[in-house]
Structure 1
Amino acid sequence: MDLKIFVFLSWSIFSFFLLDVAHGDMSYSLPEEMKRGSVIGNIAKDLGLQTGALTTRRARVDTEKKDKRYCNINLKNGELVVAERIDREELCGEKASCILKQELVLENPLELHRISLHVQDINDNSPEFNEELINLEISESADRGARFVIEEAHDADVGQNSVQQYSLEKNENFILAAKGNTVELVLDKELDREKQKEIHLLLTALDGGSPQRSGTVVIHVTVLDANDNAPVFSQAVYKASLPENSPLDTVVVTVSATDADDGVNGDVTYDFGHVTDEVIKTFNIDSKSGEIRVTNFVDYEASVTYEIRVKAKDGLGLSSYAKVIISITDVNDNAPIVSLKSLTNPIPEDTPAGTEVGIINVQDRDSEYNGQVHGSVQQNVPFKLVPSIKNYYSLVTTGNLDRELVSDYNITITATDEGSPPLSSSETVQLFIADINDNPPVFKEQSYSAYINENNKPGSTLCSVSAQDPDWRQNVCASELFYINENNALT
């Protein structure tokens, strides 16, 4: 079935509903891969707002500068709509729950509502095996009931849409035993190398989606003489901690497996099992020593843990698996980000102290103390930052303003985190002061004297007077001239 048709059917299955509205939180459920512009819910209705209030209060979905905005608001009707492609597998990987966090900001007064988008999985991925061909070398002396581990298939989907069952093409020698993530080929009839040296089996993995998807792999069995011991890892699970930005070639952990067989049958080599592309780009494993090293810089803000499936294989193809869990620890490598979200500019010079003139947001992608941020403005300006909601500050006036003394201010806003050493960044805002008519004109002289001759012609200038006004434009006074009119009268 075409993916677009399937997404449409999925839309009919998933009903969008407001899960909870409490303490400023709103939650919606939607399937992944919806078209841009698809309606998620109605913000105005869920908040009990008139539709027009969204425009007057400058409603918007706000994110950090580096993050995508996955939804937008239609200010005309209050609908929350899809703005970017939402791929659950890209965003959340194998996590059962996939929640996108967005923030709704309303101004005048300032309100912040957290929006949680619960992204539901659709069956848009087929099961895949790590290899197109699995080679097994099995001794003809293997007993009936012997089990051989096969690496399971991987399906990027979750829940019922992930791998649910396996089937093995009918053959004379093997049956399949699959339970959970363990897939084993079970010898049901002894092998006879002189009768058959090679056996080809088709293994199929099926998911539980509708329509159902599947993936296949060919198992090539070579019948050999005795190699009856598989490698055994020293641990089933290896755990390691790695600071982000660790130098390349850092040894993270060393895995170890032993094989009781002698000679080539006991030679163990190591490799990754089915892992993500991100793991392949970030780590490698030494096939002889089992050392796992860093090959690319790790970023705590991008991924906090890596789970790696490691395979140990002996000289004749028997293998076993272990899990490596690498936890990335945070370092203070991200400076805070200062964002100007709103600014009233210019402001009248008679603005009273305590007036909000701007809204500032500060963010830091680090965690814990490294991500705790404090905002401030430089001294000697009549403004300060007042903490508001979460990472928001209000820029307010602290004293009287006088345009005739200072007509504009360059306000430097600094955000500093609590890391060690602390990191900071600044943003400068230019704020202009608007004039009001708060100064009377002042004559240059207290009195003016003029001497004239009789019989001067009409229109002759007698004298001029001048006054100054520190106000601006229409608030400034005009100078006047005294002259003789046609009747020889002073005007």
Structure 2
Amino acid sequence: MFGDSEGSPEATCLGIEMEDKGLSSLLMIYGLALFIHTDIVHGDLSYSIPEEIKRGSVIGNIAKDLGLGVDRMSSRNARIDAEGNRKMYCDLNLATGDLITAERIDRDSLCGKKASCVIKVDLVLENPLELQRVTLHIQDVNDNSPQFNADSIEMEIHELADKGTRFSIEEAHDADIGQHSVQKYDLQNNDNFVLVVDNNIVELVLENKLDREKQQEINLLLTALDGGSPQRSGTVVIHVTVLDANDNAPVFRQALYQTNLPENSALDSVVVTVSATDADEGIHGEVTYDFGHVSNDHEKIFSIDHKGGEIRLIGAIDYEETSNYELRVKAKDGLGLTSYCKVIIDITDVNDNSPRIFLKSLNNPLPEDVSPGTEVGIINVQDRDSEKNGLVQCSIQQNVPFKLVPSIKNYYSLVTMNQLDRETTSDYNITITATDEGYPPLSASKVFQLSIADMNDNAPVFEDDYYKAYVTENNKQGFTLCSVAARDPDWRQNGTVVYSLQTGQVNNSPVSSYLSINGDTGVIQAVRSFDYEQFRSFKVQVVARDHGSPPLSSNVTVSVFITDVNDNSPQILFPAPEGNSFMTELVPKAAQGGSLMSKVIAVDADAGQNAWLSYHIINPTDPGLFTIGLHSGEIRTQRDISDSDNMKQNLIVVVKDNGKPALSSTCIMHLLIFDNLAEVPELKDIAHEENSTRLTSHLIIALVSVSTFFLTFIIIILGLRFCQRRKPRLLFDGAVAIPSSYLPPNYADVDGTGTLRSTYNYDAYLTTGSRTSDFKFVTSYNDNTLPADQTLRKTSLDFIEGFEDLDVSPKNTVGRCDFNRYDCIFYIGPAYVNIK
């Protein structure tokens, strides 16, 4: 069992021992069968395999040895990783968990004569990162036969050579080691020489003196045998020429020459100089040098000067490939006597290799919602130099949210430092720099791109916080009001925005019955035609939602304002255009110029300038007698009334608004000039003429009763509280107050934009001779107008009782009678009284 694991000191090495005896030898003979024994360990794994094993042969089951299932091996992306650019002699079968051979393994070329031949690879597991060192012990197989440097060895021996003289023979070379290398030599039987082998030095010993006259040449067969099974051998023919007198062989000054040579030394540099001397003179003392048995690779790197013994560098040397060389140098004199020395050249390391950066794995693209500290990738840094020259420090540039965390050996984990945001940066060019500790230091950089995958982490954001849309009333269906726009910085479907209207109601109707929105463009259109007079504005909520999972949304308020169009004609409230009712305004003959006689009251449902009304009189009975306020509608006398003026005055009043085009309405005002109430009965005839209707006796009785009641009422009030004498004058400083029952149901005077102005009240002045008529005197009254629901309908007794506590002065009393409806309405103080 092997015990040279490179892992922790506590690690137990795994493997088999291949020995050149017993069952192991027999198995190698029949196919170099492989027996592997493994145990579960907590450190490195170690396997022993013979060289020259077939590709695809199973070395061992790593999944079983590590206690991992095959599924976990695949899920953790298990792989075999070799340092640098060295060959991958083995590979991993993820389907079975077997470690198999991937290349031909020749121990002799890998390790030469080293006693131990080891291949080290790394087993890398991810999630989490785990590194297992796998050591392969390559066992030698007897696949090489012993070889001599030449097919024959030429030797010249003087016939006077003494018995026992030793002649060195170059030993045989066997690429195998140990028991499989050369174990013994056999010399063909002869009468003159015996073979002596001592400490791997082969020498011919002259046992019987030579006699040139008997035998000038002797051929000896020398056989080298290894210890393998089956045994391999190599032969060489030793051709001995018997000469005269050359009894001294060259002698090296040193048996071992050892020197250091920096790698990458200049070509033709002198590595070492060997020297040998020969005691003989002349041709017998001339020494030449040559290499003994060396490999072809060594002959391409070194050369020797045959005369001077200088060994020069003729090829490139690399410490990372071979750290030392062993050469055998032969010195030969002129007559063929030789001697040998050994030259050992140790290659010293130079910092000539820059670090290399390998990206082993990378989670690309990386989701932007990963938490800080997440492992993104695995970096491996290698430097083929040794010792300090091979120590590497790895760093990353400072402007990226990532950092390198040292892991196992030369492995680093690339982890996130901060929260990522794809909308800020979608791609990162990450630069990794590795610098060794040699002198001068060498460095290398590697740039790789890391993309950030989008997550739906941004809700749509509207360009404006609030939207306003203006539409003219009576618009067409499908009219575009406005458009909203929202931006989502997310990508693709996460950033695709669709618009919709939030469910709700406008004026008790669904929003969808008023507006629609284009889900793609955000364009808002009208579903119906709007009417300014029904409502003037409303608000809706627009929802922008993306297509992410889950989707995100945001809202914005859109206010729709309806602008007015002049689509409503003025509506005349007074005089009331009801049926065929006949209304007559009483004008006292004593009225002076500028006196307020009546007022035309009109409203317009439109707004703004479309509701600015103007009043005009057309076709009056007496053109110069009455005038109307252009904007107030007040009908006043232009001059004093004369006796020549017609008693009955008819005025056609046109009310126009200020729209374009202007709309108008007309009404007719009937004015009756009277001097005293005795003339009032003539109104009967007027009523008959105008309305083709005859007054009944009931109306006459009612008018007389009302007149009598008011005369009595006024006398009592004047006598009890004021006892004042009322001057016959009219007060005109306001406009007529109209009860709410006169207003159209859809009219509301809001914000001071309507057409009704301040309140007007009317005072009634009755003479003792009055009987029936429609009568009204006016004066200003600035209190609030009585609502229609406060109108009183009472009998005469109730009427008197109800006003006992009221101020019934003439200034606070108003009356009006309608001849067709047979009723009179009086305003006393703050209340209306309706008498049928």
TM interval, short-chain normalised: over 0.9
- Structure 2 unaligned blocks of 5 or more: 1-25, 499-520, 532-539, 543-836
> What corresponds to 1:244 in structure 2?
263
Deviation at 1:36, TM superposition (A): 0.9
- Determine which of 395, 419, 425 is the counterpart of 2:414: 395
Percent identity over the alignment?
Answer: 64
Distance 2:361 2:79 in 1: 12
User: Which sits farther off after the overlay, 436-445 or 391-400?
Assistant: 436-445
> What corresponds to 1:483 in structure 2?
525
Is 1:11 the counterpart of 2:32 in the alignment?
A: yes
> What corresponds to 1:40 in structure 2?
59
- Determine which of 309, 314, 324 is the counterpart of 1:290: 309
Alignment of 1:16-27 (within 5 A): 16-18=36-38, 21-23=41-43, 25-27=44-46
Deviation at 1:405, TM superposition (A): 1.2
Deviations 1:280-306 (A, max 9, x none): 111111111111111112111111111
**Contact 1:7–1:33 (CA under 8 A) maintained in structure 2:** no
Structure 1 pair 448–455 and aligned structure 2 pair: CA distance change class (3 A): closer
**Contact 2:355–2:444 (CA under 8 A) maintained in structure 1:** yes
> What corresponds to 2:76 in structure 1?
57
The alignment partner of 1:55 has SS state of helix
Deviation at 1:199, TM superposition (A): 1.0
Distance 1:118 1:448 in 2: 84
> What corresponds to 2:136 in structure 1?
117
Q: Which amino acid aligns with 2:227?
A: G
Deviation at 1:409, TM superposition (A): 0.6
Q: Which amino acid aligns with 1:392?
A: Y
Deviation at 1:461, TM superposition (A): 3.4
More strand per residue: 1
Q: Which amino acid aligns with 1:60?
A: R
- Structure 1 unaligned blocks of 5 or more: none
Distance 2:164 2:252 in 1: 23
Deviation at 1:487, TM superposition (A): 9.3
- Determine which of 235, 242, 247 is the counterpart of 1:228: 247
Distance 2:281 2:27 in 1: 55
TM-score of the superposition, structure 1-length normalised?
0.95
Distance 2:40 2:71 in 1: 24
**Contact 1:10–1:122 (CA under 8 A) maintained in structure 2:** no
- Determine which of 250, 273, 278 is the counterpart of 2:297: 278
- Determine which of 164, 168, 180 is the counterpart of 2:199: 180
Deviation at 1:10, TM superposition (A): 5.0
**Contact 1:10–1:31 (CA under 8 A) maintained in structure 2:** no
Distance 1:21 1:326 in 2: 40
Deviation at 1:8, TM superposition (A): 6.7
Deviations 1:165-213 (A, max 9, x none): 1111122211211233111111122111111111111111111111111
> What corresponds to 2:443 in structure 1?
424
> What corresponds to 1:209 in structure 2?
228
> What corresponds to 2:286 in structure 1?
267
The alignment partner of 2:41 has SS state of strand
Q: Which amino acid aligns with 2:416?
A: T
Deviations 1:72-127 (A, max 9, x none): 11111111111111010111111121110111000111111111100011111110
Distance 1:487 1:455 in 2: 5
> What corresponds to 2:467 in structure 1?
447
Q: Which amino acid aligns with 1:172?
A: D
The alignment partner of 2:267 has SS state of coil
Distance 1:423 1:328 in 2: 20
Is 1:353 the counterpart of 2:372 in the alignment?
A: yes
Q: Which amino acid aligns with 1:307?
A: E
User: Which sits farther off after the overlay, 469-478 or 333-342?
Assistant: 469-478
**Contact 1:70–1:83 (CA under 8 A) maintained in structure 2:** yes
> Quick check: which has more Rg, 1 or 2?
2
Q: Which amino acid aligns with 1:187?
A: L
User: Which sits farther off after the overlay, 409-418 or 464-473?
Assistant: 464-473
- Determine which of 385, 390, 393 is the counterpart of 1:374: 393
Distance 1:307 1:151 in 2: 15
Is 1:437 the counterpart of 2:456 in the alignment?
A: yes
- Determine which of 145, 153, 156 is the counterpart of 1:126: 145
Distance 1:372 1:109 in 2: 25
**Contact 2:90–2:101 (CA under 8 A) maintained in structure 1:** yes
Deviation at 1:429, TM superposition (A): 1.3
Distance 2:476 2:124 in 1: 74
Distance 1:174 1:389 in 2: 64
The alignment partner of 1:135 has SS state of strand
Structure 1 pair 487–32 and aligned structure 2 pair: CA distance change class (3 A): farther
> What corresponds to 1:74 in structure 2?
93
Deviations 1:317-365 (A, max 9, x none): 1111111111110111000000000111122222222111010000000
Deviations 1:12-37 (A, max 9, x none): 3x5222378343x1100010011111
**Contact 1:20–1:27 (CA under 8 A) maintained in structure 2:** no
Q: Which amino acid aligns with 1:17?
A: H
Deviations 1:436-481 (A, max 9, x none): 2222222222113131452614x44333211111122222223423
Structure 1 pair 345–95 and aligned structure 2 pair: CA distance change class (3 A): same
Deviation at 1:256, TM superposition (A): 1.0
Structure 1 pair 234–447 and aligned structure 2 pair: CA distance change class (3 A): same
> What corresponds to 1:312 in structure 2?
331
**Contact 1:126–1:215 (CA under 8 A) maintained in structure 2:** yes
TM-score of the superposition, structure 2-length normalised?
0.56
Deviations 1:32-71 (A, max 9, x none): 0111110001101110111111000000000134111111
Distance 1:39 1:132 in 2: 41
The alignment partner of 1:264 has SS state of helix
Q: Structure 1 stretches (4+) deviating beyond 3 angstroms?
A: 5-8, 19-22, 459-462, 484-491
Deviation at 1:149, TM superposition (A): 0.6
Pairwise CA RMSD: 1.9
User: Which sits farther off after the overlay, 436-445 or 53-62?
Assistant: 436-445
**Contact 2:79–2:124 (CA under 8 A) maintained in structure 1:** yes
> What corresponds to 1:85 in structure 2?
104
Distance 2:303 2:42 in 1: 47
**Contact 1:42–1:80 (CA under 8 A) maintained in structure 2:** yes
> What corresponds to 2:344 in structure 1?
325
Higher relative contact order (CA 8 A, sep 6+): 1
The alignment partner of 2:149 has SS state of coil
Distance 2:239 2:529 in 1: 125
**Contact 1:452–1:462 (CA under 8 A) maintained in structure 2:** no
- Determine which of 267, 273, 276 is the counterpart of 1:254: 273
